[in-house]
Chain A
């Protein structure tokens, strides 16, 4: 099974992928491709629901090897802070993004 090859197909821009710029914790910029997802979400704040957006990007782990909360991701000119990077163990990393 060629997982790396499958991942590459998945994040091709003519499939689900979009172009992005990953700015690593040292400030080094790298052009990568990610699967970008923004979906409506109710954030539960002690029982009060606040309308919000859940924003995630899925990247190849090899493209974001040293991700931490000081890294950035730029998509369509919008700069997001990465507040969480979760490795799935199969070569992908899910980046949780915030504008704040």
Chain B
């Protein structure tokens, strides 16, 4: 049986891949979306989105059914822009694009019923200065979903 957590992350990745100027977004971040890339980002990997689902928390144990768990999957969506003259404005546009792709314009925050809902948690701008300036942001979202007890399905 498919892992619900994996299905949610796959759906989120597919949603991020729609972030293209051709679809009405500010940026083309959707052209390079990674699922938990832990190796170094080289020039050819940027601009990019990197998804990381580090933490999964059991919630509402009493409210969950006897044979089910309700869970909060905390996902970090990192956006990174190619170096060289990129301004922090690009990162602000990227944040806007990610939010819009998840829930803007009536987009389905249940990812086809895989989750109950998705909530925005926070965003943080990033600006690192070396020979090239690197700008980006981290957007945190919380995805609430249900599995069978002790299972990921």
Contact = CB atoms under 8 A, between A and B. Distances in A.
User: How many of chain B's residues touch chain A, expressed as a range?
Assistant: 20 to 34
A52 B132 CA distance: 7
Contact of A49 (B40, B84, B85, B86): B40
Contacts, number: 70
Interface residues of A, number: 23
A83 interface: yes
What is the predominant secondary structure among interface residues of chain A facing chain B? strand
B20 interface: no
Contacts of B37: 48
Interface string A17-59: 0000000000000000000001001111111111111110000
A79 interface: no
Given A45-B80, A99-B84, A100-B85, A52 B126 contact: no
Contacts of A49: 39-41
Interface of B: 37, 39-43, 46, 50, 78, 80, 83-86, 124, 126, 128-134, 136, 138
